[in-house]
Structure 1
Amino acid sequence: MTMRALVFDPEAGLRVADVPQPQPAPGEILVRVEACGICGSDRQLVRGEGAPLGTSYPVVLGHEIAGRVAALGEGVSGFAPGEAVVVHPFVPCGQCAACARGEEHLCPHQGVLGFTRPGGDAEYVAVPAANVIRRPDGIDPAEAAILVDAYATPYRALVSAGLQGEEAVLVIGTGGLGLAAIQIAKALGAPQVAVLSRREDAGALALVSGADEFVTLADDPRQAARKLRRMAKGGVGLALDTSGFADGIAFALDVLRPGGKLVTVAMPAADLPVPFAKLARRGIAIQGSFGSRRGDVEALLEMAADGRVQPDVVAGRRLALEEAVDAILHPFFGRDVVVFETSN
């Protein structure tokens, strides 16, 4: 039996193709996919800008997955066919020092759906049962799908960085991660959230997402920095970088208060210069953050269910699978989501 899937390999390129339909191995659940988000890391892979260690080709793309349980593998219990679920995309080894510390998102041996094993841009995907999380009633599949990464990645970054509810936050970037981060920072108690973007036309969507101030790199940087310092009463406490652009990071370091922190989830292709003297003089810390934990997704599902975050704002175009190739090659505001027929 075959199914339709979005497949990539460097030789044959990106295409929709017929591939064998998976069956759940022992300990796995077969999920009938209802929606799968298109992520910036999918686009990086297609552009040849790097992939997680262990990525093998050809690979079915897609790691932001929402669907319904189709079948249970041997030894799996606690789920029933037809249940609405999402899938956490990171598969830790469970045995290394990072996993033992409870930092499974930093497991150096982890697999990633859509990279090291087949992903969810397909009609069906077989995944470890431990990665399957029930989806609350009332959350649209396309909106639930992006919670598992577009939201979970900035959530993990803000929590790891110790977001203080009384301090202003600066978000750098207005892609899916940046727009989600605005909502999350507000939900976690930040009194003001400012946004820095390279795109002047991103302002309306940033404000709809909850931003209090919007500045672009086309603005006079000194004037923009003064505006944010006034908003934050002396300086921003935490800046979250989702873009990886040197000029955005430089701006953030100028508007952080003494003792502030910059946390980044960006993975730019080239290394960026770091002004160590400025960091030392002002006591600024820089921290990286990668991926998320299962518990982060569970928390976000609760936040979406009670309206503290609004993934409908970030979920952009709903696309058929056949439109995914063009969507990956031509990015759009927010998070494009592939939606599958749900009548079968």
Structure 2
Amino acid sequence: MRALVFDPESGLRVAEVPTPQPGPGEVLIRVEACGICGSDRQLVRGEGAPFGTSYPVVLGHEIAGRVEALGEGASGLAVGDPVVVHPFLPCGECAACARGEEHLCPRQGVIGFTRPGGDAEYVAVPAQNAIRRPEGLDAAEAAILVDAYATPYRAMVSAGAAEEEAVLVIGTGGLGLAAVQIAKALGVPQVAVLSRREDAGALALVSGADEFVTLAGDGRDAARRLRRMAKGGVGVVLDTSGFAEGIRFALEVLRPGGKVVTVAMPVDVIGVSMAKLARKGAALVGSFGSRREDVEALLAMAAEGRVQPDVVVGRRVSLEEAPDALQNPWFGRDVVVFDAP
């Protein structure tokens, strides 16, 4: 079968590899679509990989397809079922897993890094990671729900965003636009977006934002606008970009006792005032990954039209076009689409 393979020695290429066979408790999926994620690009740029990544690796962890075959003992699914794949593989034995925080498992594997992923015609995954998707939900749109949407969803649920009057999202890439939709779907009355891109305002507003600001010109005016909108300060800031100016701006518009939650993974961010953080009694926390139930909730939201992943899908490319798309990202989220037979 054809697959997108990466190795630090030989680089990124589409190659012929053996078609996987489902082992005990696994299912074989014929891939219909697979999202290209920022973490894929980080891996290719040499900026780090999840613990346990082995090379050469078939990339791709935002997977949608149909069940092709069942391994011994696999249950709950049938051949032909449309599914998406939750990409995280917690160990089930550590303290984090025992606390019900399996998304924070320090020993977890990740499909597309520690085992072959979905940028291929077929992928074998544990049956428990395959989640049935609604028949009418487009495969490319469903694929990005498992990470581009599930990551900000987990962050906002953990931060209690649904209880806040106002939320600020930093960034207008795939994660940021998804976060805006999720915040509105959770019932947040006022959602603002901060971007370094002045041309991103239209997409932010289409995604449901009530206010859009940039740091161009006088940032103090933008901060005043958001404090006015939020009646004193936003309760939760979700950072999807990881740039220091954004975090500093967040502390200016955060209400006392508010939270800044980041899902971004830059190498380093400096210049944040710890004194301001302390005086506001604010929390600066990280959020990573998601849980299976997060993906299930998002599939239901998408089926009901409460989130619109079609806005976030940037380009639909073939597998042969994937290396160029991965190294030359589009505005939004690129998705590799496989032709159905």
TM-score, length-normalised on structure 2?
A: 0.98
Instruction: Give me the whole-angstrom Cα distance separating, in 1, the residues matched to 2:215 and 2:42.
Output: 23
Gaps of 5+ in 2: none
Aligned pairs, number = 341
The 8 Å contact of residues 167 and 238 in structure 1, kept in 2 or not, is answered as no
**Which residue number corresponds to residue 266 of structure 1?**
264
Q: Following TM superposition, by how much is the alpha carbon of 1:74 offset from its aligned partner in structure 2, in angstroms?
A: 0.7
Work out which of the residue numbers 115, 127, 130 in structure 1 matches 2:128: 130
Q: Which residue of the partner structure matches residue 338 of structure 2?
A: 340
| Residue matched to 2:54 | 56
8 Å Cα contact 1:36-1:337 kept in structure 2? yes
Q: 1:118 aligns with which of 116, 119, 137?
A: 116
Matches within 5 A, 1:139-178: 139-178=137-176
Q: Give 2:60's aligned amino acid.
A: G
Aligned position for 1:33 = 31
Secondary structure (helix, strand or coil) at the match of 1:24 reads coil
Other-structure match for 2:193: 195
Counterpart of 1:179 in structure 2: which amino acid? L
Contact 1:165 1:191 in 2 (8 A): no
Please, which of 265, 278, 302 is the counterpart of residue 280 of structure 1? 278
More displaced stretch, 151-160 vs 208-217: 208-217
SS of the equivalent of 2:30 reads strand
Q: 2: CA distance between counterparts of 1:99 and 1:242?
A: 25
* Secondary structure of residue in 2 paired with 1:20: coil
Equivalent residue number for residue 314 of structure 2: 316
The residue type equivalent to 1:65 in the other structure is I
SS in 2 for 1:74: coil
Q: Which residue of 317, 320, 327 maps to 2:325?
A: 327
Please give the alpha-carbon distance, in whole angstroms, between the structure 1 residues aligned to 2:334 and 2:208: 20
Q: Compute the displacement of 1:109 (Å).
A: 0.7
Farther-moved stretch of structure 1 (233-242 vs 270-279) = 270-279
Give the counterpart of 2:101 among 103, 114, 119. 103
* C-alpha separation in 1, matches of 2:321 and 2:198: 27
CA distance in 1, matches of 2:237, 2:147: 19
Name the TM-score, length of structure 1 as normaliser: 0.98
Taking the aligned partners of 1:200 and 1:274, their CA distance within structure 2 comes to: 24
How much does 1:276 deviate?
Answer: 1.6
Match of 1:19 in 2: 17
User: Which residue identity lines up with residue 226 of structure 1 in the other structure?
Assistant: R
Whether the 8 Å contact between 2:164 and 2:235 is mirrored in structure 1 is no
| 2:242 match | 244
Q: Which runs of 4+ in 1 moved over 6 A?
A: none
Amino acid at match of 1:289: S
The C-alpha deviation readout for 1:288-318, integer Å capped at 9, x for no partner, is 1000000000000000011110111111111
Give how far 1:65 is off.
Answer: 0.2
Shift of 1:154: 0.1
CA contact (8 A) 1:37 1:336 kept: yes
Q: Report Cα offsets for 1:86-137 as digits up to 9, x if no partner.
A: 0000011111111111111001110001111110000000001110100012
- Counterpart position of 1:298: 296
Task: Measure, in 1, the Cα distance between the counterparts of 2:204 and 2:197.
Answer: 11
Q: Cα RMSD (Å) of the superposition? A: 0.9
- Matched AA of 2:340: T
| Percent identity for Structure 1 against Structure 2 | 82
